[in-house]
Structure 1
Amino acid sequence: MPSSQAFAVVAAARLFALIAIGAPALYLRQTDALIALLVLAVLWTYQVVTATRRELELTLSPAVEATAVGIVCAIGMKSSDAILAALVVPPLYATAVAGTRTMVRTVAFQVVSIVSLGLMWHGDITGQEGVSIFTWSMAGVGLSLVAGVTFASDYIELDPLAPYRDAQHLIRQLIELSDNLSSGLDVPALGGEVLAVIGDRLPTQALALFVPRGDALSPVAATTDLDGADTDACEQIATDAWAQAAPVTTGRSFALPVGDAAVVAGLLPEGSAADDVPFDVLKKALAASVVKFDTALLFLPTSATSPRPASASGWPGRCTTGWPRTSRLSATSSTRWRPARPTSTRPSSSRSSATASPRSWRRCGSR
């Protein structure tokens, strides 16, 4: 359905057409042209007024208006060629309310009516009048084609189901791509793989992987249970590395940002200094695992990115509020994707092994 803006554009075109016709007619005192101008003014005023109450369906169709304008122009063109400027308006109106196809029919009705009635009323049409009819008709067609680009959006009906169809298309593409995945996209499992890569290259007492959740960091996986002091140390140094977006070392503690958002924090064995940690080597070794982990993070539920309240039971307890094991789409054994099942909010008691590394890791919240 045409918008109010489209009707406003047509109304403005009618007004300017009346001014273009009336100014020379008044200056030259052409009585017949002024009568034709008055008829056009009445016709277009009726169209504008009825357009404000479109639900009554009293507005004349584009073909009827074009025929009426053609009749008026045919009768008044001998008194003033300026009256033919009215031929610009009906094609524009047709384009605004129905599109370019209706505009073509409207121009045909308009030309036939003015030529046929002009021959019957005056007996002949001079060459100058024929050129003027053609010129103003083509001007209306050109203006309508240009305006049609603006009016095109008015004819597009919004489909409320279009976002769902687009989502279906994208999910089907994702399912096809999942055939090429070498592993699933389970966040804790891939987090354990990241920790295993570091553990294979660096002797550590404990490792933990954190990801942002709102304005704080939340642990995803760890290699062992930590006491209160070690928990606070890992969390603090991970927060510092996250804020600085750079590796941080303090005593035997270290933290390394990996991927787009994750941070690995760890404790070296007693007597070791974190200043000697080869961060460049670790980053190169983690390149493949981090890509998988960042991909898995993209499919976390929205609730997984919101801040979670602190628990008084220490860091492992804060994880047992239910970090999602799977995303909205979870991988099966064949890496085909299906909607994830709701996960329990109770702590898991099973141990997972994401890699073949001899270093075991525990999912956050396991006992």
Structure 2
Amino acid sequence: MFDADRLPFRVAALARIIVLIALTGPVLWARDAAALIALFVIGAIWALATLVDLRGVLPLGLLIAGEALLVGTVCGIVVDASTAVIGALCVPPFTAAVFRGLWSVVTSLCAELLMLVAFAYLVGGSLSVEQASAAFSWAVTGLGLGLIGTFLNGALIERSDPLAPYHYAQGLLRQLIDISEGLDSGLDPVALGGSILSGVRDEVPTVAMTLYVARDEALLPLVTKALGTPDEVREFEGVAGESWRACAPVRRGRVFAFPLLSEMRAIGVVVAALPDGADARAVGVDDAVRRLMSDLGPSAVHLDTALLFAAFRDAASAEERRRLAREMHDGVAQDIASLGYLADALDAVSTTDAQHERIAQLRERITAIVGEIRRSLVNLRTSIGESESLGAAIASVARNLSEVSGVPIHVTADELTERLRPEVEAELFRIAQEAMNNAVKHAQADSVDVHCQVRAPAARITVTDDGRGLQPGRADSHGLKIMRERALLVNAELELSDVPEGGLCVSVTIRGDGGPEEITVVQPDFDDETRVKA
């Protein structure tokens, strides 16, 4: 029996000892012989009950009923001579509650009161008012202790049940599903961020705006309207960091920033720039910012909820990918690898050229399958690391894929220091990964070129191969559908086009504005010096 399973028995034994000591003291002081003998008998009953508890000799329900009946019997026999032992009536309901919960309290109380009244009438002929009052008082005390024991029963069961965290998680997930149906603003962080920036623009004339959200210790741009020059981007980042640390509005020249507060906690920072030559005082920026911080409170709560949901979804997806990778490695991969050893053994005892040729074909096919499983394991295990960029992650998986397939894959990365949000990086990474896999496995490409350009929150990735181009889809092929679904999750555009010289170009573009009114497409602009061979 585990320690957690012993806790109810320890609690019951401790309660019996404490009550027995509490009752014995006054009885010894009064030198009440009848009560002392009754307490000795009750002590023996409780000692036997504790021993049976620990040994598990009798069913628990029978033990609970037996303890209540015996204690009620002893109290009924001695009540005519002394009421000092009636306090023992409060113990059986408590121990019953600790073991079985509320219904056992009712059963235990009824059993002990029935025996007390029955033997009181058999021995003494009746119950006096004093005796009945004492029995009632201690029965009510037993009921109260039983309710406390019921609470302890729930706590102890939850502690000892290894499935308790899963049951709790089930309840939370069901609540999340029910609640999500009533979220009129949805759970798309980009759409919510775009709505917040639109509200700022309605209040203050601006030429550029960015909404930053926190990721670990850094601020990442979530939505941008009208991207500025690199110098303006750096200025925005500085003002955003200052406002975030101070958790207060900041104004530097024509650039101003203010935090979005959810439950008195900053969950993001809005940074905006006034038109050239605009006077912040004449525009009334300070007053407008104070109004916006108040009016955007509900929007901040909506955005915080959406970001938490995205983080939960990403964590669950990453854990599921790791689990699948472990199962594939320890199960299917090992079984298929063992078939290779079996093929080698058969080849060693082959007697004809025809047998040798067929076994060689089998060995070659097994090797190809093992290589395919290894690629799948790399795909499942590779993710965006905490310390690497999107381009570096794509280069890492391209390098592994190139080594396994023998197809050269060139990755060109053009990124600034600011990063995309984790869920956006993850989806773009998986799209690029799937596009490279398709080029290697199905397009029969001799080489693959990958361009990754990031200007957070905008980005563009293109995967170009020199293979057979876009072929009619197979009934069992879901790669393109999955890429489109991933693109929709982050409001990206996925485009496929044939290359004039032969091959296919897969392009995925994230626009940084969070809405249709201002589209800024990041155009690829690469030079040979930035090309890195994977």
TM over 0.5: yes
Which residue pairs with 2:475 in the alignment?
none
CA drift of 1:141 comes to 0.6
Letter in 2 for 1:228: P
Letter in 2 for 1:240: E
- Which residue among 420, 427, 430 is the counterpart of 1:319? 420
- Residues 34-85 of structure 1: CA deviation (Å, up to 9, x unaligned): 655544443343334444x15333998455445545665666667xx23x43
Which residue pairs with 2:85 in the alignment?
86
1:240 counterpart = 2:242 = yes
1:186 counterpart = 2:205 = no
Aligned-partner Cα distance in 2 for 1:244–1:65: 65
CA drift of 1:132 comes to 5.1
Letter in 2 for 1:140: W
CA drift of 1:33 comes to 6.3
Letter in 1 for 2:91: L
Cα 1:314/1:23, change in 2 over 3 Å: same
Letter in 2 for 1:349: T
Give the conservation status (yes or no) of the 8 Å contact 2:93–2:146: no
Aligned-partner Cα distance in 1 for 2:59–2:281: 84
Give the conservation status (yes or no) of the 8 Å contact 2:68–2:108: no
Letter in 1 for 2:416: G
Cα 1:6/1:72, change in 2 over 3 Å: closer
Matched residue SS, 1:88: helix
Which residue pairs with 2:221 in the alignment?
219
- Residues 306-356 of structure 1: CA deviation (Å, up to 9, x unaligned): x965868325x6227654799xxxxxxxxxxxxx98669999515477557
Matched residue SS, 1:281: helix
Matched residue SS, 1:256: strand
Aligned-partner Cα distance in 1 for 2:109–2:523: 72
1:302 counterpart = 2:303 = no
Letter in 2 for 1:138: F
Give the conservation status (yes or no) of the 8 Å contact 2:76–2:118: no
Give the conservation status (yes or no) of the 8 Å contact 2:224–2:513: no
Give the conservation status (yes or no) of the 8 Å contact 1:191–1:293: no
Aligned-partner Cα distance in 2 for 1:290–1:324: 28
Aligned-partner Cα distance in 1 for 2:78–2:187: 78
Instruction: Report percent identity of matched pairs.
Output: 21
Aligned length: 330
Aligned-partner Cα distance in 2 for 1:91–1:154: 16
Q: How does 1:93-172 map to 2 (within 5 A)?
A: 93-97=92-96, 98-116=104-122, 118=123, 125=125, 130-131=128-129, 133-156=131-154, 158=158, 160-172=166-178
Aligned-partner Cα distance in 2 for 1:184–1:75: 71
- Bigger fraction of residues in helix: 2
Matched residue SS, 1:85: coil
Cα 1:366/1:112, change in 2 over 3 Å: farther
Cα 1:39/1:286, change in 2 over 3 Å: closer
Give the conservation status (yes or no) of the 8 Å contact 2:24–2:36: no
Aligned-partner Cα distance in 2 for 1:288–1:310: 38
Aligned-partner Cα distance in 2 for 1:291–1:33: 69
Give the conservation status (yes or no) of the 8 Å contact 1:210–1:238: yes
Give the conservation status (yes or no) of the 8 Å contact 1:14–1:44: no
Aligned-partner Cα distance in 2 for 1:37–1:322: 69
Aligned-partner Cα distance in 1 for 2:113–2:272: 79
CA drift of 1:287 comes to 6.3
Aligned-partner Cα distance in 2 for 1:75–1:275: 92
Letter in 1 for 2:57: L
Gaps of 5+ in 1: 119-123, 327-339
CA RMSD in angstroms, aligned pairs only: 4.3
Matched residue SS, 1:297: helix
Give the conservation status (yes or no) of the 8 Å contact 1:241–1:248: yes
Aligned-partner Cα distance in 2 for 1:266–1:74: 84
TM-score, normalised relative to structure 1: 0.70
Matched residue SS, 2:259: strand
Instruction: Compare relative contact order (CA 8 Å, sep 6+) and give the higher one, 1 or 2.
Output: 1
CA drift of 1:218 comes to 1.1
Cα 1:266/1:310, change in 2 over 3 Å: farther
Letter in 1 for 2:105: G
- Residues 136-189 of structure 1: CA deviation (Å, up to 9, x unaligned): 4223312202212211213435465244135314521431x23xx3x5442222
Gaps of 5+ in 2: 97-103, 159-163, 316-384, 390-413, 428-486, 495-506, 525-534
- Residues 77-126 of structure 1: CA deviation (Å, up to 9, x unaligned): 67xx23x432331453134213133211221022213422x1xxxxx64x
1:57 counterpart = 2:58 = yes
Which residue pairs with 2:252 in the alignment?
250
